[in-house]
Structure 1
Amino acid sequence: MRKILIIEDDEAIASIERDYLEINHFAVEIADNGITGAEQALSGQYDLILLDLMLPGEDGFSVCRRLREKLDIPILMVTAKQEDIDKIRGLGLGADDYIVKPFSPNELVARVKSNLAQYDRIKGKNDSHRSSHIEIGSFVINTQAHRAYLDGKELELKKKEFDLLYFLIMNANNVFSKDTLYERIWGFESIGDNATVAVHINRLREKTEEDPSNPRYIQTVWGVGYRFQP
């Protein structure tokens, strides 16, 4: 049974989230503020964190940063403000997905399942290559340690940045649309916002390109999508 931690200060919302997740055979625990939630997340063995943005003690932005430094599991952020989505995308928090209140319990369960399925797919791919590094051009990918290197220097990548770079490198010279990349990396088809792909592409370019405005490796094919050029 997969184990989920809900960090939510609204007791009614947390109870609804817990009930629907338990109906779908998840084990669920609840923390009602940011400080104890972060401590609980770091001390427990959870498969996914459902993290509210507005929390007493420590807000969700800060908690997410702290958790991502230590945990390599999906973090799904919950916000009541549409404008906070840009902050979640732009601050490089390491969140895997977000959902805006009010949302249907069925949408929440779908998001949780999609994030877990995508995590399992990536984890499975990495586990199958544990014995070796992947070397393509100037890049080296260590799938066991979940690390990437360019010209011998380690790249400081968030989880989804690593997943996206890994996918592009393993499919070098192939062109992928935003929709396809969103489905492959984030695990959704019709749910979500594929603008997230462009944000992560830009972050990767900033970390891998000498001139991000004129990229050598992660190229835009106008009107089609993106490709990795070794």
Structure 2
Amino acid sequence: MKNISILIADDEEEIAELVAIHLEKEGYNVLKVHNGEDALQVIQTRSIDLLILDIMMPKMDGYEVTRQIREHHNMPIIFLSAKTSDFDKVHGLVIGADDYITKPFTPIELVARVNAQLRRFMKFNQPKVDDNIANLEFGEIVISPDQRTVSIHGETVELTPKEFDILYLLASHPKKVYSVENIFQKVWGDAYFEGGNTVMVHIRTLRKKLGEDKRKNKLIKTVWGVGYTFNG
């Protein structure tokens, strides 16, 4: 992909350089910084298409960088971290990361995941031929594909890009059951590796944001042993 700019933020300069070498071989423009504050500065002043982000960095950690970026930007974010616990992975995905790769890693897998994230992002952000795609309305819930927003009783629900994509996928085909593998492939635009937990985490946070714990009739229904369906 030409004219694609990728920012690497990692305080381990050797790792940043290794990643940069492999991405530049793919034809990407690569920028490198070594702390969280510099990462934000670059995002604010340059056009960046994808961010590869370490968590444990000086001045500002990767979690806080992601929180601030997600207030204004929706480019793919891939965590590349030595933190390997399930809690860290889940936390990273919940606050807005699109993928999480642990160190040590293989450059070929990292490049594959970068390519997959960019393919998906470019696909979902192409100009639409029809500028008036109808909203999806289910009682008090309105899903706007043009604005990529969701509202309940007129109040906007703040969703991450992946949460919105999952909700829109399910709501576009009410009653259709999607397997975890199918959701992962359609939303992440990648082959299914071990994405089951990733999908379940996003479904869990999506349900919470939609106030499912207060609803008698659940919007997102679990079909045990099969997957999920929208029950709007």
For normalisation by structure 1, the TM-score amounts to 0.92
Provide closer, same or farther for how the CA distance between residues 210 and 12 of structure 1 changes in structure 2, counting only shifts above 3 A: closer
Deviation at 1:215, TM superposition (A): 5.0
Count of residue pairs brought into register by the alignment: 228
1:8: Cα distance to partner? 1.0
Following TM superposition, by how much is the alpha carbon of 1:190 offset from its aligned partner in structure 2, in angstroms? 3.6
2:144 pairs with 124, 142, 145, which one?
A: 142
Distance 1:229 1:3 in 2: 40
Q: In the aligned structure 2, how far is the partner of 1:137 from the partner of 1:10?
A: 49
| Stretch deviating more after TM superposition (88-97 or 172-181) | 88-97
Q: 1:219, CA displacement in angstroms?
A: 0.3
Moved more, 53-62 or 130-139: 130-139
2:57 aligned with 1:55: yes
Q: What residue is the counterpart of 1:36 in the other structure?
A: 38
Partner of 2:153: 151
CA distance, structure 2, for counterparts of residue 86 and residue 128 of structure 1: 41
State the identity %: 35
Gaps of 5+ in 2: none
Deviations 1:38-68 (A, max 9, x none): 1112221011000011111111111111111
* 3-state secondary structure, aligned to 1:211: helix
**1:5 maps to which residue?**
7
Kindly tell me: are residues 66 and 41 of structure 1, through their superposed partners in 2, closer, same or farther at Cα, counting changes over 3 Å? same
Query: Which residue pairs with 2:29 in the alignment?
Result: 27
TM-score by length of 2: 0.91
- Given candidates 214, 217, 220, the residue that maps to 1:218 is 220
Q: CA deviation at 1:69?
A: 1.0
1:64 aligns with 66
Which whole-Å CA distance do the structure 1 matches of 2:169 and 2:222 have between them? 16
Which whole-Å CA distance do the structure 2 matches of 1:121 and 1:100 have between them? 27
Paired with 2:35 and 2:43, the residues of 1 have a C-alpha distance of 12
Match of 2:184 in 1: 182
The SS at the match of 1:70 is coil
Task: Establish whether residue 127 from structure 1 lines up as the match of residue 128 from structure 2.
Answer: yes
Q: Displacement, 1:28? A: 0.5
